[in-house]
Amino acid sequence: MSVNILTVRGVERRFDATLALQATDLDVAENDFITILGPSGCGKSTLLRIVAGLDQPTAGEVQLDGRRISGPGADRGMVFQSYTLFPWLTVLDNVCFGLRERGLPRAQQLDIAHGFLAKVGLKGFANHYPKQLSGGMQQRTALARALANDPRMLLMDEPFGALDHQTRELMQELLLGIWEAERKTVLFVTHDIDEAVFMGSRVVVMSARPGRIKLDRVVPLAHPRHYSIKTTAAFTELKAALTEAVRTEVLAAQAQSA
């Protein structure tokens, strides 16, 4: 077992009277790919946003490499569900954004940016503006932009949620391929069980509101993973168990709102 780079200790988040996330603990080891599953409104995005530093916990704390997180920073790159490329910058300059902030010489910025654009398959689109790209291409650019910054962790909040099914599957393979090559530590929020099992080395299931971690399972599938793995017995077995766990929570969430 490798060292934990991220520790979440007793993190809780209240919005006025509502408890969105109840005292949660989570340890993330170096090179882990953790997928977080749960019904909508269970606080999984809240947890991710607290790790990103975009939201503050009302109790508990998050530590990255032993240092307490108090705000957002370049050490935690994030890919959002909404399209967040800067519309006034070309694809290339979007990927350079964080590098330029660090004061890297332009030649070096371009070097790194072109490298990552090639990795996400957008070599010929460097000079396009975001509005000229499809949704999938925009998210690939957002991924390149986050990776170019060389963060300690990659946080992904349903990054493929707005894409159509086929594009989403291609994006999963692309991200998995990049992870297998770069071995970034990833925290990935999704409500798609297939996605959670296919991508994750660990799957965490959260309960209905107030959210807490209800199940934490290691995915017993070897890397590199080919998409055909989705039809193997090991995959379907885990998927069935997770489906059951998530379903209970979705029903509980519906009972709450009824």
Choose, by CB under 8 A, the member of 16, 17, 67, 71 that binds other proteins: 71
Which structure tokens are listed for 226? Answer: 């080919």
Choose, by CB under 8 A, the member of 23, 54, 104, 110 that binds other proteins: 54
Choose, by CB under 8 A, the member of 70, 132, 134, 256 that binds other proteins: 132
Q: What is the rounded CA–CA span in Å between residue 185 and residue 48?
A: 14
Residue 39's φ and ψ, nearest 5 degrees, are -65, 160
**146 sits near other proteins (criterion: CB under 8 A):** yes
Are the C-beta atoms of 29 and 1 separated by less than 8 Å?
Answer: yes
Q: What is the rounded CA–CA span in Å between residue 8 and residue 50?
A: 10
Find the part of the chain contacting other proteins (CB under 8 A) among 80-88, 114-122, 158-166, 173-181.
Answer: 80-88
- Polymer length in residues for the chain: 258
Are the C-beta atoms of 242 and 203 separated by less than 8 Å?
Answer: yes
**102 sits near other proteins (criterion: CB under 8 A):** yes
Choose, by CB under 8 A, the member of 70, 82, 108, 127 that binds other proteins: 82
- Residue number with CB closer to other proteins (74 or 250): 74
Residue 196 three-state SS: helix
Q: Site residues (CB under 8 A) for other proteins?
A: 52-54, 71-74, 76-78, 80, 82, 84, 86-89, 97-98, 101-102, 129, 131-132, 142, 145-146, 149, 155
